[in-house]
Amino acid sequence: MKKNFRPFTLKLGILLLLLLLWNCGLSFFHGWVTLWWLGLLVNFLLIVGIAELIGKMIPSFYAPLYRRSLAVSFPLLLFLAWELLVRGGVLSPDWFPPPTRIVQALWELITKFDEFSKTSLLGRPWLWPGALWGGRPETVGELLAESHLYATLMRVFVGFFLGAIPGILLGMVMGVSPTIRTMIDATLSAFYVLPKIAIFPIMMLIFPDPFGEGPKIAVVAISVFFLVTINTMVGVRDIEPVYLEAGRNYGARGVQLFYHVILPGALPVVFAGLRLALGTALIVIIAVEFVRAKTGVGFLTFYYWEILSPEKMYAGLVVVMVLGVLLTAGLKKVEQWFMPWRRP
């Protein structure tokens, strides 16, 4: 054990020294501006070597903690490199505003009420307690109505439910009945490959208020519907035949067979479909908001491109990312609640 320990520390020392020399040397000879990509690459390789050496030295008890800290610290390091490259004049702040300024812009978006468009990102939550205790709860509704995040969230939620519920029903019917499946499958597949955003103009044509919420929610619902239908159908068809045999042999017929065998048997694939559909719903709603909306996170991001405010554009993207992560995590929770038998 002791024999192995020394060479590790020695190697680690050499690598750390190389890292220091490389960065100081490159800075001293002003190499960063032209060779910044090489600088980053060598730094990355040296850091990988150091991380691996530390990983071998660390007691196995701390290994999971160490791995998690690697996963967290790498993006932080990336942000640091980004920040330094912009400050050093290598990357243009017009295209890649430094992370600190993006955070600043995000904070500004959260706290500021835009007088011109009468909107805010979150709907000024610091005013809610006053409105609630001050006896004017309807103000909270008004405040939410000005929120970009709330607008996007509502469109995704309503569209998702309006698409997912009929999708699950039709998918189940198609999975169970070969006749209905043969009749509908080809048509469904044809619609499935159509980029759903392409039907947005049709929706605007159909709805009485082309610029209202109707067409936006409809596009989300339709995109969700096709994905969920096809996945549910596959889920029903992929149930192990032996489960159906067992169900029938033990006396389950019709509704009982459906409730006790087909529905739970298809659920894992149905949820895989719902996860896909949620991702697609986010893509579609952001795209729709780019094109035609006066509220929403997508609109916000596009708006700040139009008025050339890159750090706020990036802030909008950060909000979209956070939204995606939170919604996916929420669906995961619902999934665990519905399928306790799959919990590890």
Binding residues for another protein, per CB under 8 A? 240, 242-243, 245-246, 248-252, 256, 260-261, 264-265, 267, 339-342
* Residue with smaller CB distance to another protein, 187 or 249: 249
Least distance CB 234 / another protein (angstroms):
18
CB 83 within 8 A of CB 99: yes
CB 120 within 8 A of CB 113: yes
Least distance CB 342 / another protein (angstroms):
7
* Residue with smaller CB distance to another protein, 163 or 247: 247
* Residue with smaller CB distance to another protein, 211 or 259: 259
Least distance CB 309 / another protein (angstroms):
52
Q: With 0-12 CB in 10 A as exposed, 13-18 as middle and 19+ as buried, what is 129?
A: exposed
Least distance CB 239 / another protein (angstroms):
11
- Please state, in angstroms and rounded to a whole number, the distance separating the CA atoms of residues 193 and 48: 42
Least distance CB 241 / another protein (angstroms):
10
Least distance CB 248 / another protein (angstroms):
6
* Residue with smaller CB distance to another protein, 4 or 249: 249
Least distance CB 344 / another protein (angstroms):
9
* Residue with smaller CB distance to another protein, 106 or 239: 239
Least distance CB 274 / another protein (angstroms):
17
* Residue with smaller CB distance to another protein, 267 or 278: 267
* Residue with smaller CB distance to another protein, 59 or 251: 251
User: 207: which 2 tokens?
Assistant: 């709805």
Closest by Cα among 106, 104, 146, 153 to 128: 146
User: 224: which 2 tokens?
Assistant: 């969700």
* Residue with smaller CB distance to another protein, 142 or 240: 240
Q: How far is CA 139 from each of CA 113, 124, 149, 286, 327, rounded to the nearest angstrom? A: 15, 11, 17, 27, 26
Least distance CB 134 / another protein (angstroms):
50
Which residues, including other chains, have CB under 8 Å from residue 33's CB and lie 6 or more apart? 88, 89, 90
* Residue with smaller CB distance to another protein, 239 or 286: 239
